[in-house]
A and B are shown apart, each in its own frame.
Chain A
Amino acid sequence: MSARVVTVTSGKGGVGKTTLTANIASALASMGKKVVAIDADIGLRNLDVVMGLENRIVYDLVDIVEGRCRLRQAMIRDKRQPNLHLIPAAQTRDKMAVSPSDMILVCDQLRDEMDYIIIDSPAGIERGFRNAIAPADQVLVVTNPEISAIRDADRIIGLIEAEEKGPGRLIINRIKPEMVARGNMLSVEDILDVLAVSLIGVIPEDESILISTNQGLPVAMNGANGSIASQAFQNVALRLDGKEVPFLDLTPQTGLLNRFRSWIDGR
């Protein structure tokens, strides 16, 4: 068994990297894969709270790198999903506490016992980003349907290729089908026209994501549990695992007002 290392990154902050990391890791675990999620955002740790494991942290990634603990001691096993694990970031240090070669070393030690290592990259294109992509076999680039996030995604796609970690694959997060239908939001097709990259997932804006994050319970934890977002996360995990899964139909709900509006708009 040799794990695949998948890094989730974006350039721009606040597009949903951490939520995606937690949910993709959880979805893979629900498929029976052995998964470890690593928070590479040293100093701004958050994957622990999104996964609901913040109360169980004793050691962190920097403790491993600096030899204060063994790898196993810093790896938290999720009791709700026993094949899901987390290695948290240090909160009181900065990105320079870890180097790209440290990250490669940590991942190499995990490869034999895991199926997937999912790394949550910090925003930006500096050291933290370099650390996060150094061990990657596959890079997932997250964007939102807005100009600033797409521009940053384009830059990241170029950097990934320059580091020979490409081609990256794109996740479009927080799309609102009603706004797309009214011509007030870039569509998936618009974004793919502009970025030279292949798509691996489209996640619609969905209140259930925030509700479950509030509770420290990734929506994807129990497989596809009915919400459209959890289905979308599950599909990303399946595609990552090499399955052919059609993209969800995200045409707007057929309320009378919406139907009338889209008839008027001719879309």
Chain B
Amino acid sequence: MSWISRLLGNKENSSDVAKRRLQMVLVHDRSDVSPGLIAQIKDDIIEVIARRLAIDPEHVVVNLSQTARESRLVAEIPLLANQRQH
């Protein structure tokens, strides 16, 4: 995005949007894992972890990430400060 667009508070360039969407779709294509399956896995992870630990389910992030030709599943699960109450 160019500096002037940022200055004017414009939206990002359409080519930036295209690149971001393309990267997302290719991660899923290459690993043959659909976004819907990721959402199910995320729910499963929340359920399993919440049995033992107090977590913030609203801020759990589960994503496929990719480096070169290798994909991995990355989960970020924020724990609540006070674990005792659980």
Nearest to A262 among chain B residues (CB) is B2
A193 cross-chain contacts in B, Cβ below 8 A: 19
A194 lies within 8 A of chain B by Cβ: yes
CB distance from A158 to the nearest CB of B (A): 7
Binds A, one of B23-31, B33-41, B51-59, B73-81: B23-31
B84 lies within 8 A of chain A by Cβ: no
CB distance from A153 to the nearest CB of B (A): 10
B21 lies within 8 A of chain A by Cβ: yes
A150 cross-chain contacts in B, Cβ below 8 A: 22
Q: Are the C-beta atoms of B15 and A194 separated by less than 8 Å?
A: no
Q: Are the C-beta atoms of A183 and B4 separated by less than 8 Å?
A: no
Q: B-side binding surface: helix, strand, loop or mixed?
A: helix
A190-B18, A194-B26 given; name 15 further pairs at CB < 8 Å. A147-B18, A147-B22, A151-B26, A151-B29, A158-B30, A180-B15, A183-B14, A183-B16, A185-B15, A186-B15, A194-B23, A264-B2, A265-B5, A266-B2, A267-B2
Q: Interface size (B, Cβ < 8 Å)?
A: 20
B3 cross-chain contacts in A, Cβ below 8 A: 266
Q: Indicate which residue in A151, A184, A196, A266 contacts B15 across the interface (CB closer than 8 Å).
A: A184
Q: How far is the CA of A265 from the CA of B16 in the complex (A)?
A: 14
B83 lies within 8 A of chain A by Cβ: no
Q: B residues touching A (Cβ–Cβ < 8 Å)? A: 1-5, 13-16, 18-19, 21-23, 25-26, 29-30, 68-69
Q: How large is the interface on A (under 10, 10 to 19, 20 to 34, 35 or more residues)?
A: 20 to 34
Q: A-side binding surface: helix, strand, loop or mixed?
A: helix
Q: A residues touching B (Cβ–Cβ < 8 Å)? A: 146-147, 150-151, 154-155, 158, 180, 182-187, 190, 193-194, 196, 264-267
A154 cross-chain contacts in B, Cβ below 8 A: 26, 29-30
